[in-house]
């Protein structure tokens, strides 16, 4: 069976009519017939012509999905420059879960706790029940707490999987995450400084409610671009 090194494999990237090959372990797989690889890129993240052994280990599916495609060669390994520190590289090898999944898990908490304050405060305005206003404040505080691990795991995922490459969705997510944190902190301080005025209504309450609405909009933008990275729409 034909032997490919990484340089030869990189030329088979599925672009401009070239075959679409990927490597897994020591196998070279031809995925040219897959609709998910028709552009030479899978999920806007995995590039054909690459060794995807680590990527598949961290993917939501196993390597068995490759068995439906023909093996056309074997991969000749060569020493490559190590990007991560040795101890972290060993940890990622032992626990592939850490490469991709901590951030998608962590972001669900700040999303829900950034949207729910506006929802509960609206219920308070409609019903007058103070328990809804208190719940809105508690959700606001929880949102601030959970934004921090979401940002930290996001940076880790960006560094480990994308080598901190500047990408538009990542750049937008970073900017808006810090804006979200700033708005949430301002909203919480506003609520703590003027609890009576906010509970009674008036312009202070309107400002508070607008800050909460702004948080919901910001986190929706962050979620949109994050979803585009995790579940990109393939172009036809």
pLDDT of 157-176, one tens digit each?
888 777 777 888 899 999 99
Q: pLDDT band at 109, cuts 50/70/90?
A: very high
| Helix, strand, or coil (residue 121) | helix
How much is the pLDDT for 102?
Answer: 86
Which of 161 and 116 is assigned the larger pLDDT?
Answer: 116
- The mean pLDDT value of the chain amounts to 85
Are 201 and 167 in a shared domain? yes
CA distance 35 to 150: 33
Nearest 5 degrees, angle CA 88-CA 93-CA 98? 70
Are 180 and 126 in a shared domain? yes
Mean pLDDT for the stretch of residues 74-97? 69
Domain assignment present for residue 193? The answer is yes
Q: How many domains does the chain have?
A: 2
Range of the domain at 42: 3-76
Greatest mean pLDDT among 32-46, 134-148, 162-176:
134-148
Burial of 141 (0-12, 13-18, 19+ CB in 10 A): middle
């Amino acid at each position: 069976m034909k032997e490919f090194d990484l340089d030869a494999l990189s030329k088979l990237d599925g672009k401009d009519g070239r075959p679409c090959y990927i490597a897994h372990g020591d196998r070279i797989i031809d995925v040219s017939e897959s609709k998910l690889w028709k552009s030479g890129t899978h999920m806007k993240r995995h590039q054909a012509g690459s060794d995807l052994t680590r990527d598949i280990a961290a993917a939501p599916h196993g390597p068995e999905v490759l068995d439906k495609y023909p093996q056309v060669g074997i991969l000749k390994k060569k020493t490559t420059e190590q990007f991560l520190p040795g101890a972290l590289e060993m940890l990622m090898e032992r626990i592939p879960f850490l490469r991709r999944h901590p951030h998608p898990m962590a972001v669900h908490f700040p999303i829900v706790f950034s949207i729910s304050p506006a929802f509960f405060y609206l219920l308070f305005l409609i019903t007058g029940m103070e328990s809804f206003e208190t719940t809105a404040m508690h959700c606001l505080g929880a949102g601030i707490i959970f934004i921090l691990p979401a940002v930290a795991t996001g940076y880790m995922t960006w560094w480990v999987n994308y080598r901190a490459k500047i990408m538009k969705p990542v750049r937008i997510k970073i900017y808006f995450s810090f804006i979200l944190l700033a708005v949430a902190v301002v909203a919480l301080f506003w609520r703590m400084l003027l609890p009576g005025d906010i509970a009674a209504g008036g312009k202070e309450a309107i400002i508070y409610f607008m800050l909460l609405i702004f948080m919901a909009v910001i986190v929706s933008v962050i979620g949109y671009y994050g979803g585009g990275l995790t579940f990109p729409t393939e172009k036809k």
